[in-house]
Every structure is written in structure tokens, then in C-alpha cells.
Amino acid sequence: MAHPFRAEHIGSLLRPAELLAARSAAGVTSSYSQMTEDIHKATDQAIAGVVAKQLELGVRPITSGEYERDKFYSGFFEKLKGMEVIKDIPISKGYRTNFPTLRTLKALGIMTRDSVVAVDRISRSDSPYLSEWKALRSRLPRELWKDCKLTMPPITHSHMQMATGTAYRPNIYSSDQEYFKDLADAYVAEFRALYDEGLRSIQIDDPCLLFFVTDEFRSGCVADGIDPDELLDEYIWAHNQCLFGKPADLHVGLHLCRGNMAGSTHIMSGSYERIAKKIFSELAYDTYYLEAGDFQPLRHLPIGKNVILGVISTKSPDLESLDELVARVHSAAQVIALGQERSVAEVIESSLGVSPQCGFASMSSGGANGMTMDIMWAKLLLVQRLAKRIWG
């Protein structure tokens, strides 16, 4: 289906100082921490403010900034039946060999990490994210609900990080396929619940999927006795299981990036080329939100799929040149047009949108060096100007 917006953003926004202070005062130390009353109050006030600002500036889609969450993946897995937060797992033993995120954590002096493990059969009773959606929509007239977007973590999030065979207890599931099937059923039910309450756009954030382009991650898989290409195939299958029975007018897109830790930190680097043909042709998502770099992998994009080009940096406070951004979009369109044997004009009109390359703060303490609220809003307005220049 067509993407709903030409000018987009990735959903997570810088947290206001008052919200960060409330979280710090409450001693929040885990991505899976529960909200206290003080944090809940500060969160409500922060969301009200960020929604009002988006309405004032005409920024779309409208999101809560992920202000309810400590990190982009918080609030989903730990609310499913059968899942349990396991605290302080040593990153040297409890996680995959050569998992790129762990290298960055070790450099920061972080030696343990919490994760969510299936200790019983996974099922969904209450909706993990319905309260987030209702809180966002309550601040808007009904006719603007269609302009909103909610972000969700990928089905592969815990499994991809955990040491082989530890994402679920062996007495609970006998195979990855069983584990993913139950988890996919929870996604299908969540999509339906959100849709039934008026949501029409969902973004799945899977930065780790790009680890398959790196020799570091792939060699770690081999060291763990795993074929990385077979693992990628399994993850594509798992992603697609989540989309079975999706309402026809529910837009679901996939965000891919190279990491976005505090202080402008990339987790990995490299071109999408190694996996581009497979992820563009085999994943069943409507739209790909991409961190623009080397455009050549876009030649594999099939007709009927959309790309939101992340051409504006969230890692640098400098404002980009509008003329240079227009030229980059046209360069990307030329690559896609050659691959699809269509005209550049057709590709620009039917398949493209623009956005920042990632969220501005994928975690509470996130944010690029030198990035401020004012610069963030200026960058989002630059996205609008870019879209207006190209599409009118």
C-alpha cells in the first residue's frame, strides 16, 4: 500500500529535561522498569507538550516521541504472558559471540544487560501498547488519528541478541519456529487491537537486522555453530509471520539503521548490499525506512514497495543544504528507476518519501552531541521543506 506521508520522521524524539529528571529521581536503571506515579505524571505532561508542538509545526506523523519508554523496545515483550525479565545477564556469556552492540557497551564499561526470556508458552492477554495509543489519540480530534504512527520492536529482538538456545527455556519450546510462531500470534493480535481502536500506521524498528552485513556478526554466528544466512532466512520468515491477516489499510513499515546510541554512536557501518535483494524482495512490509548512504542497494527494490530516505542526520546538529538533499533524493531515485526499468519521475511519485536517518533519541538518555530541542525541530521542518520542494 502507499505510504501515508512524504515528509516523515522515525518516531523517537529528544526527551524534555523534566522527564529525564523524573526518571533519574526514580532511579530507573532498566529498559523494562515499571513507571512510578511521578514518572507517569511527567510522561503525560511531556507527551502533551510534544503533541502540541507537532500540531503547531505541522509535523507528521504525530507520535508520542516514545516518551513512555526508556528505550525504543521497552513495554512490549515484558508484558506478554510467558515472558520474564532476566536481570544482569553477563554480556560476555549470555549473548551472541561478536554481537556488535556488546562491543559498544563494553567500551562504555557496561558488563551486564537485562533481557526478556520465554519461561513459559508465550501468549497475549492484555495489549502491551494499547494504552500508549489511547494516550496519544486522546490529545487529538478523531480526524487526526490517521496522521499518527506507533513504533514497535521487532519479533527477533531478544532472540537475535541472546546466546544460542537461551531466548526460551528448552523445556518450553523445542525449536525456534515454535517460539516465533507464538510470538507472531501476539503481534498479529496486537496489530488487530490497535487497528480496531483507530491506529493506521505502525513502524517496526529493527536496527540489528543490518548486523548481517558485517563480517563481525557473521563470524560470531559461525563461532556459535550457526549459519548466518540460514539465521537471516529464519528471521525474514518470523517477520512475515507477524503480517499474516494484517488489515488491508493498516500500513506497517520496517525501519533499518546502523544504531543510534547516546553521543552520536553508530553500532556498525557498511552498505546494505550484502542483504538488500533478500530483505527488499522477501520481507512483506509495505515500506522501508532507511538510513541513506550508499544508494546502489536500492536497485533491488521491487515495484510496489516504498522507501523513506533518511537523508537528514540525527547524529549531527548541522543543518543540511536543501539543494544537496534534493540532489541526493534524485540520485536514489535514479538507482531505483534503473533497477525497476521505470522513469525517475515515476519512482519519485510512487515510491519515495524523506525523513531523518534515525530517531533523535532511541533511549531516554539518547541524543547526538550538540543536538538540542530547537535543532531537532529545525531538522523536522527541513524534512517538510525538502518534501515540498520535491512533491509540491
* Listed residue (31, 159, 29, 164) closest to 93, CA to CA: 164
The string of pLDDT tens digits covering residues 264-278 is 444 555 678 999 999
Burial class (CB in 10 A: 0-12, 13-18, 19+), 151: buried
Average pLDDT over residues 100-115: 87
Instruction: Give the per-residue pLDDT at 29.
Output: 65
The string of pLDDT tens digits covering residues 14-27 is 999 999 998 888 87
Instruction: Give the per-residue pLDDT at 272.
Output: 87
What is the 8-class DSSP label of residue 33? P
Could you tell me if 255 and 205 are in contact, meaning their C-beta atoms sit under 8 angstroms apart? yes
Average pLDDT over residues 171-196: 98
Question: How far, in Å, CA of 77 to CA of 74, rounded?
Answer: 8
Q: Residue 226: pLDDT above 50?
A: yes
Q: 204 forms bridges with which residues in the sheet?
A: 152, 254
Question: How far, in Å, CA of 361 to CA of 29, rounded?
Answer: 17
Q: What is the CA radius of gyration of the chain?
A: 20
In CATH, the number for domain 17-391 is 3.20.20.210
More confident residue, 245 or 388: 388
Instruction: Give the per-residue pLDDT at 260.
Output: 57
Average pLDDT over residues 207-227: 95
Instruction: Give the per-residue pLDDT at 270.
Output: 64
- So where are the chain's domains? 17-391
Instruction: Give the per-residue pLDDT at 266.
Output: 47
The string of pLDDT tens digits covering residues 351-385 is 999 999 999 998 887 788 899 999 999 999 999 99
Mean of all residue pLDDT scores within the chain: 93
Q: Residue 85: pLDDT above 80?
A: yes
